[in-house]
Structure 1
């Protein structure tokens, strides 16, 4: 039987791993999506690389970190980040690009510069696609964080694997249930954030 203190400690480690990685992924992906609007070569490289990494099985991405970066928290962050980049980059780029050209023409007509167009026109209109990508990436990061327990990241994955190895259902559930609850929390929290920042948001 796993103690409550152990579960809480593992859950906290898992939350830190997932949210730090997701924050880094967002910080990298959104500027890349904006930059890709201005360079077809960059768009090609970014999308091809992201698709290539996404095509590799998650466990293989985690495993390859060991010879490259060793074991521990940092390799786990890199492994999760590589898988989380694609949905954020791709969705954000699509959201930024698929803007009604008449809106851009109107914004230029009233004297808005490029930064203002991005800030007040492109980005708000891209929020639905962008947040869909972030939510998917967050759920993906949460699941891969379980796998990174194999390379010493800690978190709920350790408890889950202990349960699997020992054929112990109670131990397995002690790790799996908080992981499932975290996936729901990620989805709900970013949905709430989307509602806060999106002008004229209406819940369907």
Structure 2
């Protein structure tokens, strides 16, 4: 235990933690900026939705390490290729959930809104996005946790982060360093899950939360 604490007290530990958080946060943010517009564009097209969901499923089948390895020949070593690979990893869950969530909004509700004279932009802003928000945010949460865990592998292409500790622990045969890295990544993943879970509950419209509670009773 003392050895693990000594690793946490290293001067370079905060920098490794910060790099890991920056890499993960930027990847999820960029993936959201890529996936959400696509989901919005195909929300009224069954064919477009099917293509987006299938593309997302194919993307989810690609291993994290394979994406990092693919980025290496084109972008080299460092933070940038790691960010590109993790962004590609983060897109599929967000794309699938956003596309599915928007398509699952009741057509009768949308038609009623059109009958009341609402424009397509108003329907999207006031009805479709709020109703799809829980599903969309669940995809972002899944993506964020996945990226935090996979960012550990960025160390293999010079991306830095907490993976450096795990690799160092293996190379030196030092269990304290290895455990310090593993515990840090696990704690960060749990914190990410808790944070995004709280945000998901906060952004879910009150009416939907009440409806969920009634269904569970």
TM-score > 0.5 by shorter chain: yes
- Is the partner of 1:127 in helix, strand or coil? helix
**d(CA) in 1 for partners of 2:194, 2:137:** 11
Partners of 1:65 and 1:79 within 8 A in 2: yes
Change (3 A) 1:125 1:114: same
CA distance in 2, matches of 1:171, 1:45: 45
| TM value normalised by structure 1 | 0.92
Residue 116 in structure 1 maps to residue 111 in structure 2:
no
Q: Aligned pair 1:95/2:97, yes or no?
A: no
Aligned residue for 1:4, secondary structure, equals: coil
Q: How does 1:179-190 map to 2 (within 5 A)?
A: 179-190=185-196
Q: Matches of 2:44 and 2:199 in 1, distance apart?
A: 28
Whole-angstrom distance in 1 between the partners of 2:166 and 2:147: 16
Deviation at 1:135, TM superposition (A): 0.8
Q: Using the alignment, how far apart are the partners of 2:194 and 2:149 within structure 1?
A: 16
Uncovered stretches (5+) of structure 1, i.e. residues with no partner: none
The answer to whether the Cα contact below 8 Å between 1:26 and 1:85 also exists between their aligned partners in 2 is yes
Equivalent-residue separation in structure 2 for 1:186 and 1:151 (angstroms): 24
Structure 2 residue ranges without an equivalent (≥5): 1-5
Which structure has the bigger radius of gyration?
2
Match of 1:141 in 2: 147
Q: How many residues align?
A: 204
What is the distance in 1 between the residues matched to 2:203 and 2:56?
Answer: 27
Label 1:106 to 1:43 Cα distance change in 2 as closer, same or farther (>3 A): closer
Q: Does 1:173 align with 2:167?
A: no
Q: Is the 8 A contact 1:73 1:152 kept in 2?
A: yes
Q: Provide TM-score, normalisation by structure 2.
A: 0.87
Shift of 1:94: 0.6
Confirm or deny: 8 A CA contact 1:92 1:129 kept in the other structure.
yes
Matched residue, 2:131: 125
RMSD (CA atoms): 1.8
3-state SS in 2 of match to 1:111: coil
How far apart are the structure 2 equivalents of 1:72 and 1:28? 22
